[in-house]
Amino acid sequence: MGEQSGGRSSIFPMPVRAGNDYFYPMFILGIETSCDETSASVIKDDLTVLSNIIHSQIEHSRFGGVVPEIASREHSLKIESVVSAALEKAGIRKEEIGLVAATNAPGLIGALLVGLSFAKGLAYSLNIPFVAVNHMDAHVKANFLSYPKLKPPFVVLLVSGGHTLLLHCRENKYELLGRTIDDAAGEALDKAGKMMGIAYPAGREIERISKGGNPDAFPFPRALPEKANLNFSFSGLKTALRNQLYKMSKEEIETRKADLLASYQEAVVDALAKKSALALKKTRCRSLLLSGGVACNGRLRERLKLLLGEKNQLYFPSLEYCTDNGAMIAAAGLMKYKQHGADPLNVGASAVFNLTEVNDGL
């Protein structure tokens, strides 16, 4: 059995000289199963993506949200075929993999364990290193797939269905600047969709419908507007939409659906954009990294570009790397491995996001 903590496994080839530097040619397999996407990706050690296979579970749409037991079962059924498809598309055999990375936190415990167990078993059978990856750090690292030369310091706006965070990254360590005190931005959009009869996940459909509406039609509230406060709150916004719908007939709701959703989306986007601009000002950073599933929202990117102006730079991944995917796990795993080597095979899974643990692993 080769080394599984710190050193290189015997399967790694000898270093190749490139100018004044040495590098180890390798392929990295990334596995993601934290929620309702089963994904596997193969990347090279220069962050070139060779494959990124994603199986999205449609079974949850009729429940209006992710059912953990169904998610775990679907991951178990699909993980082997998804990994095989990733290897086939990348044009490599499993014996050519040099490093396996998998999400171990945060997420649904049952779902995490499927991918984590598969990754450990594969690494053990191939006698190669394994690395456990924090899902939220991987969303940040997804930016490096599009901008491999990115370097801190920068501010991160991380927005997904489960988390909304503002982070300051200096020397590869994160400082928490602000977070939602109740609902995540993605959850707020999904709940609005559910109230208005849009199937889960609702974010992209809300954006599509909103393009035909007036974002100023309904004065939905912006919570925590204080200039010194970098936290978010979206529960009151959901209540405001619900109260507005109670005042309207079904016919009126349908007639003004685009205006309602455009106004609601604008309230979410406005809060995210203004707090991000304030975070840049407070930290004196000039770079903002947009990460997470809500980074797919075109209106959010437009508002951020407008508020940031020409003096600041906005970065965001290609759309395929914004949502949960194996490529971001592979990228984060490679970066972690270069810093600290492999993780032991007894590393566990956790449902909780712990910033201290993330920083300790970077």
- Calculate the alpha carbon distances from 143 to 77, 302, 329 in Å: 30, 18, 12
pLDDT in tens, 103-137: 999 999 999 999 999 999 999 999 999 999 999 99
Q: Give the per-residue pLDDT at 76.
A: 95
CB-based contact 302:29 (threshold 8 Å): no
Whole-angstrom distance between the N-terminal and C-terminal Cα of the chain?
Answer: 26
How far is residue 78's CA from residue 249's CA, in Å, rounded to a whole number? 44
Query: For a pLDDT cut of 70, what percent of the chain falls above it?
Result: 93
How far is residue 337's CA from residue 6's CA, in Å, rounded to a whole number? 8
Whether residue 241 is predicted with pLDDT greater than 90 in this model: the reply is yes
Q: Give the per-residue pLDDT at 15.
A: 42
pLDDT in tens, 186-237: 999 999 999 999 988 899 999 999 999 999 999 999 988 877 799 999 999 9
Using alpha carbons, select from 319, 316, 338 the residue that is nearest to residue 45. 338
Using alpha carbons, select from 29, 27, 35 the residue that is nearest to residue 349. 35
Residues 6+ apart with CB under 8 A from 307: 273, 274, 276, 277
Q: What is the pTM of this model?
A: 0.90
How far is residue 148's CA from residue 152's CA, in Å, rounded to a whole number? 12
**Burial tier of 26 (Cβ tally within 10 Å: 0-12, 13-18, 19+):** buried
- Calculate the alpha carbon distances from 51 to 39, 47, 139, 285 in Å: 10, 11, 17, 34
Beta strands in 182-312 (DSSP E): 287-291
Residues 6+ apart with CB under 8 A from 129: 2, 3, 4, 8, 9, 98, 99, 100, 123, 337, 341, 342
Beta strands in 171-284 (DSSP E): 173-179
How far is residue 324's CA from residue 327's CA, in Å, rounded to a whole number? 9
Q: Give the per-residue pLDDT at 185.
A: 95
Q: Give the per-residue pLDDT at 142.
A: 97
* Amino acid, res. 170: R
Q: Give the per-residue pLDDT at 24.
A: 54
Residues 6+ apart with CB under 8 A from 313: 286, 287, 288
Q: Give the per-residue pLDDT at 7.
A: 38
Q: Give the per-residue pLDDT at 296.
A: 94
Q: Give the per-residue pLDDT at 317.
A: 95
Dihedral of CA 350/353/354/355: which sign? positive
Whether residue 263 is predicted with pLDDT greater than 50 in this model: the reply is yes
26 vs 166, residue with greater confidence: 166
**Burial tier of 179 (Cβ tally within 10 Å: 0-12, 13-18, 19+):** middle
pLDDT in tens, 301-319: 999 999 998 889 999 999 9
List domains and CATH numbers for the chain. 16-143+322-361 (3.30.420.40), 151-317 (3.30.420.40)
Question: What does the DSSP 8-state code read for residue 161?
Answer: S
Tell me what the mean pLDDT of segment 319-335 comes to: 96
Do you find a cis peptide bond into 317, omega within 30 degrees of 0? no
Residues 6+ apart with CB under 8 A from 291: 139, 140, 142, 143, 156, 157, 158, 159, 316, 317, 322
Tell me what the mean pLDDT of segment 281-299 comes to: 96
Q: What are the beta bridge partners of residue 132? A: 102
